[in-house]
Structure 1
Amino acid sequence: MTRRALIVLITGLVLWPVPWNRAGAQEPDGLAVAAALEQTLTSVIEKAGKSVVSIARMRRDRRPQPLDPFNPFRPDQNDLASPEFVPNQYGSGVVIAGGAGGNERFVLTGYHVVLDSASTGPVGQQTESRLFVRFADRRGCEAQILAADPRSDLAVLQLDFEQLGLKPAEVPALPLPESTELRKGQLVVALGNPYAVARDGSASASWGMISNLSRRPAAGLQSPVDEDQPTETIHQFGTLLQVDTRLNLGTSGGALLNLHGELIGLTTALAALEGYEKSAGYAIPMDAGTRRIIDSLTQGYEVEYGFLGVRPENALAGG
């Protein structure tokens, strides 16, 4: 069912005649049903939007933009911290809690969003790009990669809280659910930074439903941020959620929420590469495997994968 069909269904509920001959029966008011759904959506967006950030990625060798002689008061286009700064590479992220007692704050995003950016290790000084994270209250700070896992396309960023002007506990985080029971047709809300329009920190919202489970992207799709990034991940084996929410470039690393405001997935803009008008998207589900990966990354560890050690051979070949 598409979003248009869902709107038609809700409209039908509003206009549906109430039978007069059902004595004592309390029929639901169609308008009240629509208003309740609207209230649920706005509440989820308002609360979760505080924990969704925009990420700007700038190459260190970026050519400075010349000053506009006709508008000397125009903000500096070379200032990464300026809301007017328009990055060539951008994405989204979700604030999560970690550390002892869950008092630390990190940003969870897609690995391809922050590829070749500064890390907390000594190699970070040699990287090609800088990262800047902006929050819904327009505060912002630079960030570095704490740990990343290319195979799951996940990365965890460490924030500069001194530059941000806040303590970690003062930054609202989206909790990771202990378990998620996902179904086709389940309504979802997506928050992200499409085309860098949310670079001021206010995440853009869309909604739809889960179209399918355990999907894999079309073969040959490359990263929406960096064409040189390898595309072979564990998601090629069919781990992704398919949603009918349009996830344009820049929504990678954004939040996919259920109507309870729980983080059930991390959005990715892979489908946008097939055509800008396709109303489809993918998300990495927050299942037990993903939560295990995130737990390792927030501790700064490399994610370990087990291998069976079996090699296939042709049983019909003569020996």
Structure 2
Amino acid sequence: MLKNVALMFFLACSSLLLIVPNSHAFEENIIGQLENAVKKVVASAESSVGCILVSRSPVYKELGAIPLDNIPGKLGGFVPPAEPQKRLRKPLDKSKSSLDLSDPETFPDSFGTGVVVDPSGLILTMAHVVKDAVKVYVRFPGGKGSYADIHALDGRSDLAVLRLIEKIPDLKPLKFGDASNLKKGQFLIHISNPYASGFYDGSPSVGWGMLSNLRRKWNNQTAEADRTQVPLYQYGTLLQLNTVVKPGASGGALLTMDGSWVGILSSIAGWPGADSSEGYAVPLDINHRKIIEVLCKGEEVEYGFLGVQMA
């Protein structure tokens, strides 16, 4: 009896020695496939993701660098004056001397991320990134870029579309996916410019994580009198991620493992006291796609509202 038990134990140990190496090779193969899939998506998508540089400095007005036609959103470009000291009432201090956002050495006052939605030069970003901007510049991988006007902006969805002033060749829009098909636990890739990582050369940063939850709500209460201005975040539309969305990443692309664009990162969708290890994104579902289509036309988004209140 003991001999039989010993023989069985020997055979079991021998089989483990044969299985473990094969199991290790199998794991390495799976990891390799996953890594290759991520690299393929990044290589295809990163050229469509730009670093948005924003300035709200009042000095542009002193320099006469504000468009005269006073059209909302028309910000124009910027050419540094040859002798700025003579045109100003007082000399520029050092902190305000770098106003040319097209200069790779200029670090912006504010920043975010944008994604190409039309090869003609339309860039989708978050409205809070460019709200009240005086000048906006978008830099893409390789250093190519252009100043931009705010083509259209919608505060309720927190979405905005920029129009590049200069034509940039070979702009490639990302392929829209359908966020309504996403499932909890799905792996996702994000490409963005946290802390203006691409301000110098336009090269965005890459990360990946898991979809933690769907239809999350922005925990920021709004007074009943302001119901017509309630952000869509508050209606439980957000995608929750197990990865942090850092400042500057707002407007970044959230992609599936096959490269479909399914979400727009937002760094303000969280709230104080929330888990710092989580992040949020606006889903590219049919409703948000309709909003983007309206903004791309340069039109105002209209929302239906049932005007019934309790007495």
Q: Secondary structure at the match of 2:94?
A: coil
* Equivalent of 1:146 in 129, 144, 151: 151
Equivalent residues in 2 for 1:211-230 (5 A)?
A: 211-219=212-220
Counterpart Cα distance in 2 of 1:273 and 1:90: 20
Equivalent residues in 2 for 1:58-207 (5 A)?
A: 58-62=55-59, 64=92, 66=94, 77-97=98-118, 104-117=120-133, 129-162=134-167, 166-167=168-169, 170-177=170-177, 180-200=180-200, 201-207=202-208
Does the CA-based 8 Å contact 1:248-1:272 persist in structure 2?
no
Does residue 28 of structure 2 align to residue 31 of structure 1?
Answer: yes
Judge which range, 139-148 or 268-277, deviates more: 268-277
Give the superposition deviation at 1:87: 1.1
Residue aligning to 1:121: none
- C-alpha distance 65-206 of structure 1, shift in aligned 2 (>3 A): farther
Counterpart Cα distance in 1 of 2:275 and 2:93: 32
Does the CA-based 8 Å contact 1:77-1:85 persist in structure 2?
yes
Counterpart Cα distance in 2 of 1:49 and 1:19: 44
Counterpart Cα distance in 1 of 2:48 and 2:234: 29
Compute the RMSD of aligned alpha carbons: 2.9
Give the superposition deviation at 1:232: 3.9
Counterpart Cα distance in 1 of 2:116 and 2:32: 30
Give the superposition deviation at 1:19: 8.2
Mark the structure with the bigger radius of gyration: 2
Counterpart Cα distance in 1 of 2:300 and 2:216: 26
Q: How many residues matched?
A: 257
Unmatched segments (≥5 aa) in structure 2: 1-14, 61-91, 223-228
Give the superposition deviation at 1:280: 1.0
Residue aligning to 2:7: none
Equivalent residues in 2 for 1:250-261 (5 A)?
A: 250-261=248-259
Counterpart Cα distance in 2 of 1:208 and 1:178: 18
Q: Deviations over 1:10-36 (max 9, x none)?
A: xxxxxxx97858xxx999711010011
Q: Deviations over 1:105-164 (max 9, x none)?
A: 3100000001013xxxxxxxxxxx1000000121111001111110100000011134xx
Residue 251 of structure 1 aligns with an amino acid whose one-letter code is: A
* Equivalent of 2:282 in 280, 284, 293: 284
* Equivalent of 1:41 in 27, 38, 42: 38
